[in-house]
Amino acid sequence: MAENFDAIIVGGGHNGLIAACYLAKAGKKVAVLEKNSEFGGATTSVNAFSGISAKLSRYSYLVALLPDQIIADLQINFKTLSRKVSSYTPVADTGILINRTFDDESRTSIDMFAGNTNEADGWQKFYRRMAIFAERVAPTMLKPLPTESEIRELVGDDLWDEFVVEPLSKTLDKYFANDVIKGIVLTDGLIGTFASATERAANICFLYHLIGNGIGEWKVPVGGMGSLVTELLSLARSLEVSLLAETYVSKIMDAGDCVIVESSSKSFKARVVIAGCSPHTLAKLTGDTPPKSLDGSQLKMNMVLTKLPRLKSGIDPRVAFSGTFHIDESYQQLEDAFIEAKAGEIPGVIPAEMYCHTLTDPSILSEDLQKAGAQTLTVFVLHTPAALFDDNHDARKSLVAKRVLAGLNRYLIDPIESCLALDAAGKPCIEIKTPQELEREIGLPRGNIFHGDLEFPWKTNDDPRKWGTETKSPRIFIGGAGAVRGGGVSGISGQNAAMAALERLSEIK
Ligand SMILES: Cc1cc2nc3c(=O)[nH]c(=O)nc-3n(C[C@H](O)[C@H](O)[C@H](O)COP(=O)(O)OP(=O)(O)OC[C@H]3O[C@@H](n4cnc5c(N)ncnc54)[C@H](O)[C@@H]3O)c2cc1C
């Protein structure tokens, strides 16, 4: 006999868990089926190295997109901390320091580097305009999907043209002349997206990086990203959600009056199903053709260090590494790397960025490690698409890692290798995840961290979808990052899918 539920969530990432909590709070009988032994998907924290008690945010690591409203609705105790430093960009033996609040120190740093005041002026103008766009669009994210005409009216024609119609490359040219400064701004258009600054995908990715809670501030999750999952699981348990780990879903079938979900252990029946997995996985489970999307294009590295390396520029490493540390991310370096990677070659100079979680939140380390001065480093490597690793995976992975570390070492007095802690077996504490490994471990299609191509958070004027989570089956919804307003650690698609499912549940048997 199949077990019956009002709603089954396939995939227990943070979005799936958020959808489950909203539905259970509304009194529905809910189950979450997760193929892995741990819930959380791309939002897990782990002790990645034997004998080293450091809870690393293994995949995602910073939070901006998660609306405060979701935290308030679910009353979970998930906290994030601001970083004083927004970014540090080493260039030769000097560097650019930009604080989160654009202050005199940031202005002086940019002026000194650029040799004029135009770049800092451009910075302030550009981000002021983007802030207006973000402030106006962010409040729409948990409501039914607006149309593009509605958003255009909300932001006005000028901002619409600047951030939606014009390629990001052109808008950046309007405000900045310096290649390095332009690159610092551009990175937000490329994180998780394999695109040139001239492509629409960069505009979309950029908007997502700046829109969170109307301010786009990237904060450090206290206790690591896994603490979000811990909170959601605890709420789900208290709401009597059935949480079934190690339950691989192999088939989803809309049977007309219910949905049948087959798993590795047994069959289930549900009035509605929310796919917390990717649209690609959902299509395979329903027997449809999977959508085509961009390759995931990043390598993720996690390290534990015995000490922070000193920098050639002389800046205090505790300042340089507490914000986002940009490595070889000038505009031209980003464009060159994209062109090389698109041609199937590992870029000669590989752009990357990183930050040190423990400078803001040491609680992810054991007391002993804290006392010993240990730190963590999280590196996000750009323009390394899955296609580069299809052949000779392991050799190419080593080559990319070597090149990235060499790139970083150019700016350091102490080579990063000399700072790595050793695990119980005496091996350096560094782990590297390619797009292929992300697909194997947590089901991201071709390692795409957003489950597919990001879309602008609105719909065309003739699109009949209400929430952007609908599929061709009236009983099946997309609730993971691949929904229209998914992507990133936001919970928005989970909430959107739960709202759509609740409406449907009120209409059907
Ligand atoms: C390396 C990396 C760094 C990132 N950094 C950031 C960041 O700093 N900030 C940010 O906002 N975003 C970041 N992201 C993106 C963000 O983590 C994801 O977009 C988001 O977490 C996706 O959440 P989700 O709940 O929709 O899906 P997922 O977290 O992908 O969860 C989907 C779940 O479905 C399960 N599943 C799949 N198939 C099946 C099946 N057949 N049966 C049962 N279960 C199944 C998977 O095991 C997984 O647990 C990063 C992602 C990666 C990979």
Q: Which two tokens stand for residue 199?
A: 């492509």
- Pocket flag, ligand 1, residue 13 (CB < 6 Å): yes
Nearest CA to ligand 1 atom 34: 11
Say yes or no to pLDDT of 375 above 80: yes
Ligand 1 geometric centre to CA of 419 (Å): 30
Does residue 351 sit within a domain? Answer: no
444 DSSP 8-state letter: -
- Domain hosting 493: range is 3-43+222-294+444-507
CATH no. for residue 18? 3.50.50.60
Q: What is the pLDDT of residue 92?
A: 85
Does residue 269 sit within a domain? Answer: yes
Does residue 230 sit within a domain? Answer: yes
Q: What is the pLDDT of residue 509?
A: 79
Does residue 142 sit within a domain? Answer: no
Number of domains in the chain: 1
Q: Which atom of ligand 1 is nearest to 39's Cα?
A: 49
What is the Cα–Cα distance from 181 to 285, expressed in whole angstroms? 45
The 3-state secondary structure of 367-394 reads HHHHHHCCEEEEEEECCCCHHHHCCCHH
How much of the chain, in percent, has pLDDT values that exceed 70? 100
Does residue 272 sit within a domain? Answer: yes
- Pocket flag, ligand 1, residue 286 (CB < 6 Å): no
- Pocket flag, ligand 1, residue 36 (CB < 6 Å): yes
- The predicted model gives 192-210 an average pLDDT of 97
Ligand 1 geometric centre to CA of 11 (Å): 9
Does residue 55 sit within a domain? Answer: no
- Pocket flag, ligand 1, residue 175 (CB < 6 Å): no
Interval 324-360: pLDDT, tens: 999 999 999 999 999 999 999 999 999 999 999 999 9
- The predicted model gives 233-244 an average pLDDT of 98
Q: What is the pLDDT of residue 245?
A: 97
- The predicted model gives 456-484 an average pLDDT of 97
- The predicted model gives 360-367 an average pLDDT of 98
Identity at 2, one-letter amino acid code: A
What is the Cα–Cα distance from 337 to 345, expressed in whole angstroms? 9
Does residue 487 sit within a domain? Answer: yes
Ligand 1 geometric centre to CA of 204 (Å): 19
pLDDT class for 293, splitting at 50, 70, 90?
Answer: confident
Angle between helices 331-342 and 179-186 (to 10 degrees): 60
What is the Cα–Cα distance from 299 to 221, expressed in whole angstroms? 21
Say yes or no to pLDDT of 272 above 90: yes
Ligand 1 geometric centre to CA of 13 (Å): 6
- The predicted model gives 238-256 an average pLDDT of 97
Ligand 1 geometric centre to CA of 276 (Å): 9
Does residue 498 sit within a domain? Answer: yes
Note whether 229 and 40 are within 8 A (CB).
Answer: yes
Q: What is the pLDDT of residue 93?
A: 86
Q: Which helix (H) or strand (E) holds 33?
A: strand 30-33
Average pLDDT of every residue of the chain = 97
Say yes or no to pLDDT of 1 above 80: no
